[in-house]
């Protein structure tokens, strides 16, 4: 389809609107522990300590990921003039919006404005996508690289010879994805190869300018590894590339799950659209005259990516984000056929809607009956002692019950109203997340409170220790810039630390570790403060001489206590 001003303006208005929704109230709640503050701190240290080549966390080498995205976070903080929550989240939001814009552009070219708008809306309002788009993570920039590379290669395959520069750029994007997170960024070439083999066009691969393409694909990694080797030697290459990047990509490290994990997980995290993919694939098979090559490629990409990630041993729901853009194209095409009258019956929409209705009403009723007890059990306080959590609890069951009722009413209306009800649910969920749910949960999820109390008591004579994990328990450093001096794994090391001369501050990632290994007399010279961070109670032990100028006056910073 030839682009025109009306179509271009429509897409721009849509994408800008999504951007405004994503950035709304983005700084009203702290970084979500443990990943967000850790990644933000690595980015901050890149900027303030000049660690652009070798990522650092707590002034120690951070081996788990390459530096590319952390450097973007660092640059964002520099441009903003401060390392605020908004500044460190902004790169991810911008990249997610650029991904949506790229998707809309290619779908507009191949299948028209309606499918472009529908696909963009579906991707933007899929729960797992918008959740990740609004927080710091490495998967959004990775999926941007792989999706754009895949769409460019697909667009060029009919005439690689006359599209050399953009083809080379696609390979460069795959290489860039590898230094963002993982060598799994090679997926676009795999999906294109399968697509061409299925369509008996594999000879087209010979037309790729292979020498230049491969050079620019490995160029980002070569540049990074050259300078990394100069600074840290072979041991860094061995740990970061061989053990971490390759290990996670092959599944030898990470999060092992069974083969069928995504069959269960994907429908839950890709709500509210996930249940429509089955009827969409059915009508893809049935309506052969309504297909287009982009839809064919999207179906192949969706299935190949799903199978590849199911075969890899390490599995998390964020890994499957790679197929979300193609999933959105498939479901967007499906709704277009309904809205254009190519699919006359309503049952292929009504059946997924009924599944959602049953699911949402069940969740709403369950929360109404058991939500108060669940919160009390998890957070160890009563809702009647904290009005904000009581409001959160009520809002949750009203949201799911109300959505179930609205979905039920919508099935008696026109198809476009059913689509609109799904979009409205996601928009309301985003607004409630950013104005109520996340700000309320902030008190039991953020490490900022611990960081502020540590900073209030800290002076240069103090020695700071951590009894916990370097990777999972260093997020507090982002808020105060105070690096801990020692990290402990054994109780005897901690005992020696708190009994040593000088002034000590100790952070413990799990309160039970102190109470199970020490008697109260062992730490009577310390003030102990407790903080709920996620599912754990963290402790901050401050030697009492350091409290002279401190405003600490409570033993608990857990909401409701």
| 297 has a pLDDT exceeding 90 | yes
pLDDT of residue 561: 38
In degrees, rounded to 5, the angle at the alpha carbon of residue 65 between the alpha carbons of residues 171 and 41 is 125
| 123 has a pLDDT exceeding 90 | yes
Q: For the residues 57-66, what does the mean pLDDT come to?
A: 91
pLDDT of residue 550: 55
pLDDT of residue 559: 38
| 294 has a pLDDT exceeding 60 | yes
- Give per-residue pLDDT as tens, 245-256: 555 555 555 667
Q: What's the rounded Cα separation, in Å, for the pair 298 and 304?
A: 10
pLDDT of residue 1: 59
| 407 has a pLDDT exceeding 70 | yes
Q: For the residues 138-144, what does the mean pLDDT come to?
A: 97
pLDDT confidence bin for 498, thresholds 50/70/90:
very high
Q: Which of 112-116, 389-393, 468-472 ranks highest by mean pLDDT?
A: 112-116
pTM, two decimals, is 0.93
Report which of residues 318 and 239 the model is more confident about.
Answer: 318
Q: For the residues 189-211, what does the mean pLDDT come to?
A: 96
Q: Are 355 and 145 in contact (CB under 8 A)?
A: no
pLDDT confidence bin for 317, thresholds 50/70/90:
confident
Share of the chain above pLDDT 90, in %: 75
pLDDT of residue 514: 94
pLDDT confidence bin for 130, thresholds 50/70/90:
very high
- Tokens of residue 371, six digits: 């939500």
| 47 has a pLDDT exceeding 50 | yes
- CATH no. of 448-549: 3.40.190
pLDDT confidence bin for 22, thresholds 50/70/90:
very high
Residue count of the chain, please give it: 561
Q: For the residues 457-473, what does the mean pLDDT come to?
A: 91
pLDDT of residue 389: 79
Q: What is the mean pLDDT of the chain?
A: 91
Of 253-262, 344-353, 422-431, 523-532, the poorest mean pLDDT is in 253-262
pLDDT of residue 472: 87
| 508 has a pLDDT exceeding 50 | yes
pLDDT of residue 552: 57
pLDDT of residue 253: 57
| 560 has a pLDDT exceeding 60 | no
Helix (H) or strand (E) holding 60: strand 60-61
Residue indicated by tokens 């963290």: 538
Q: For the residues 394-423, what does the mean pLDDT come to?
A: 94
Cα 36 off chain centre by: 9
Residue boundaries of the structural domains of the chain:
5-339, 347-445, 448-549
Task: Name 413's Cβ contacts closer than 8 Å, sequence gap at least 6.
Answer: none
pLDDT of residue 558: 44
Cα 518 off chain centre by: 38
Closest CA to 154 of 121, 184, 111, 215: 111
Backbone angles phi, psi at 503, to 5 degrees: -105, 125
Closest CA to 367 of 395, 405, 339, 328: 395
Residue 536, beta-bridge partner list: 533
Instruction: Tell me the CB-side half-sphere exposure of residue 552, using CA atoms within 13 A.
Output: 29
pLDDT confidence bin for 443, thresholds 50/70/90:
confident
pLDDT confidence bin for 545, thresholds 50/70/90:
confident
């Amino acid at each position: 389809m030839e682009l025109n001003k009306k179509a271009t303006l429509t897409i721009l208005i849509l994408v800008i609107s999504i951007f405004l929704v994503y950035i709304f109230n983005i700084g009203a709640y702290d970084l979500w522990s443990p990943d967000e503050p850790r990644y933000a701190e690595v980015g901050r240290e890149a900027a303030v300590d000049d660690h652009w080549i070798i990522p650092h966390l707590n002034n120690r080498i951070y081996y788990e990921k390459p530096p590319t995205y952390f450097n973007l976070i660092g640059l964002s903080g520099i441009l903003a003039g401060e390392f605020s929550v908004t500044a460190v989240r902004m790169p991810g939001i911008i990249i997610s919006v650029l991904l949506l814009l790229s998707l809309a552009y290619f779908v507009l070219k191949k299948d028209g404005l309606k499918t472009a708008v529908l696909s963009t809306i579906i991707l933007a309002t899929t729960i797992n996508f918008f959740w990740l788009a609004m927080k710091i993570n490495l998967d959004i920039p990775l999926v941007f690289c792989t999706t754009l590379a895949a769409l460019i290669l697909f667009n060029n395959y009919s005439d690689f010879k006359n599209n050399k520069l953009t083809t080379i750029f696609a390979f460069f994007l795959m290489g860039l994805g590898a230094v963002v997170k993982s060598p799994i960024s090679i997926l676009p070439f795999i999906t294109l190869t399968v697509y061409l083999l299925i369509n008996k066009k594999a000879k087209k691969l010979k037309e790729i300018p292979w020498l230049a393409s491969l050079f620019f694909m490995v160029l980002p990694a070569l540049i990074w590894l050259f300078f990394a080797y100069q600074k840290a030697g072979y041991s860094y290459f061995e740990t970061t590339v061989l053990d971490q990047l390759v290990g996670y990509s092959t599944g030898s490290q990470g999060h092992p799950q069974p083969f069928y994990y995504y069959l269960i997980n994907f429908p839950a995290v890709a709500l509210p659209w996930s249940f429509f993919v089955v009827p969409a694939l059915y009508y893809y098979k049935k309506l052969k005259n309504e297909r287009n090559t982009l839809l064919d490629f999207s179906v192949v990409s969706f299935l190949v990516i799903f199978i590849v990630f199911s075969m890899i041993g390490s599995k998390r729901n964020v890994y499957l984000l790679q197929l979300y853009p193609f999933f959105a194209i498939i479901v967007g095409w499906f709704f277009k056929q309904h809205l254009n009258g190519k699919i006359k019956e309503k049952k292929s929409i009504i059946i997924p809607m009924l599944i959602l209705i049953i699911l949402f009403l069940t969740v709403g009723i369950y929360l109404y009956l058991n939500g108060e007890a669940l919160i009390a059990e998890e957070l160890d306080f009563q809702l009647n002692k904290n009005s904000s959590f009581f409001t959160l609890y009520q809002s949750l069951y009203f949201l799911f019950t109300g959505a179930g009722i609205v979905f039920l009413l919508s099935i008696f209306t026109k198809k476009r109203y059913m689509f609109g009800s799904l979009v409205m649910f996601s928009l309301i969920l985003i607004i409630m997340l950013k104005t109520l749910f996340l700000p309320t949960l902030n008190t039991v999820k953020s490490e900022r409170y611990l960081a502020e109390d540590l900073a209030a008591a800290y002076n240069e004579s103090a020695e700071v220790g951590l009894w916990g994990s370097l990777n999972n328990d260093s997020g507090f450093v982002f808020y105060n810039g105070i690096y801990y001096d020692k990290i402990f794994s054994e109780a005897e090391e901690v005992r020696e630390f708190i009994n040593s001369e000088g002034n000590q501050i100790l952070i413990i990632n799990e309160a039970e570790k102190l109470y199970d290994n020490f008697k109260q007399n062992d730490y009577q010279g310390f003030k102990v403060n407790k903080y709920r961070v996620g599912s754990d109670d963290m402790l901050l032990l401050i030697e009492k001489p350091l409290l002279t100028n401190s405003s600490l006056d409570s033993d608990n910073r857990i909401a409701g206590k």
